[in-house]
Structure 1
Amino acid sequence: MDYNETLSLFIMAVALSMDAFSVGLGMGLQLLRLKRIFFIGLTVGFFHIAMPFVGMLMGRFISSKLEGAATLGAGLLLFGLGMHMILQLFQAERKQPMKPIGLGLFLFAFSVSVDSFSVGLSLGMSGVRIVVTTFLFGLTSTVFTWTGLLLGKRARGLLGIYSEVCGGSILCGFGLHFIFG
């Protein structure tokens, strides 16, 4: 794995972690103990490993069947996912974060990891290394979740929207790179 591929995967991991970061900012406004914040981050990290892993396995299977069209499909999927992240910001009603306990924690972790499944599907079609990619996605999302939760206690949610726009823009850029690069 070369430096450019690793850097690209890291940037993509950061983009995918923006949802967890921004929701964590809002969730951090709740009274959460450090032990709970630690567990929330680990749970989100686990989902950011499992979801793209399954996506990459499916993507590899699809790419073996479709060959040339797989790269175009991967690019369109990434671009569409990035646009979806950006357009969600303009919804009239933004939901309050749920309590990060029990089922609420798993729903939170799943909801911020769904994007990583789609990206995993795209990356599986392009043939990246699964272990390195999923580890990078999991580690980055864990750190970003912890950071969002801790900053949420102090920042009162001022950065949330900007981080989602940044994450969506990065995914759009990678989608365009897959399509035209």
Structure 2
Amino acid sequence: MISYILGEWFTLSLMAIALGMDAFSVSLGMGMIGLRLRRIAMIGLLIGLFHVIMPFIGMLLGNILSKQFGSFAVLMGGILLIVLGIQMFINSFSKEEDTSLVRGFGLLIFAFTVSLDSFSVGLSLGMSGVHTIVALFLFGLASTILTWLGFLLAKKVSGILGSYSELIGGSILCAFGLQLIL
């Protein structure tokens, strides 16, 4: 019985890290715009919350929508990442620093986009009968920590790259969006 529980925790931990890697990758791109640590902390917590809410909704819906919504979620996530990347790319030519991508509605879109894949995973987990609370806790924790790491690493790199960092960040987001679509 203990080996089954440990195996489930290990599997869910690996799944949580895999889901959080999207947040890490995207935060590397978004982190190039130079944010304060307080904003980074808040964004990480919001993304962690979305990585709890989205799979929970997916688990509730279970088998009903899994086949129809899975590919749509990936497509929408890719399109939203490309839109965010293009906006960031365009903003890189502006003299003033624009942090609207990580404020208000832009932040909600950002958090929603990187958690779409966890919705699809939640759909499949809802059918398998895993411990919901454990899975949701691990998903939220991993995505929060990986988001923080991505932003902090990007913050260090952006100081080295200077004004080109936002251009590179937008390109990274577009590349991840295209990767999701293709």
Of 38, 41, 48, which aligns to 1:38?
41
Of 140, 159, 166, which aligns to 2:142?
140
Question: If each structure's helix is expressed as a fraction of its own residues, which one has the higher value?
Answer: 2
Identity of paired residues, percent? 51
Q: State the AA in 1 paired with 2:52.
A: I
TM-score by length of 1: 0.68
Distance 1:142 1:123 in 2: 20
Q: State the AA in 1 paired with 2:7.
A: N
Q: State the AA in 1 paired with 2:32.
A: L
Identify unmatched segments of 5+ residues in structure 1. Answer: 63-69, 169-181
2:30 aligned with 1:27, yes or no? yes
SS of residue matched to 1:29: helix
Say which one has the larger Rg: 2
Distance 1:149 1:135 in 2: 21
In the TM superposition, what whole-angstrom CA distance separates every residue of 1:78-119 from its partner, at most 9, and x where no partner exists?
A: xx79xx69xx6xxx9964556200111100000000100000
CA separation of 1:11 and 1:96: change in aligned 2, threshold 3 A: farther
What's 1:67 paired with? none
Question: How do residues 24-103 of structure 1 correspond to structure 2 at under 5 angstroms?
Answer: 24-59=27-62, 62=64, 95=86, 97=88, 99-103=101-105
Of 113, 116, 135, which aligns to 1:114?
116
TM-score by length of 2: 0.68
Identify unmatched segments of 5+ residues in structure 2. Answer: 89-99, 159-167
Distance 1:96 1:14 in 2: 28
Distance 2:154 2:11 in 1: 28
C-alpha deviation, 1:153, in angstroms: 1.1
Of 6, 10, 20, which aligns to 2:13?
10
Q: State the AA in 1 paired with 2:128.
A: S
Distance 2:29 2:55 in 1: 25
Please say which of residues 96-105 and 28-37 is displaced more in the overlay.
96-105
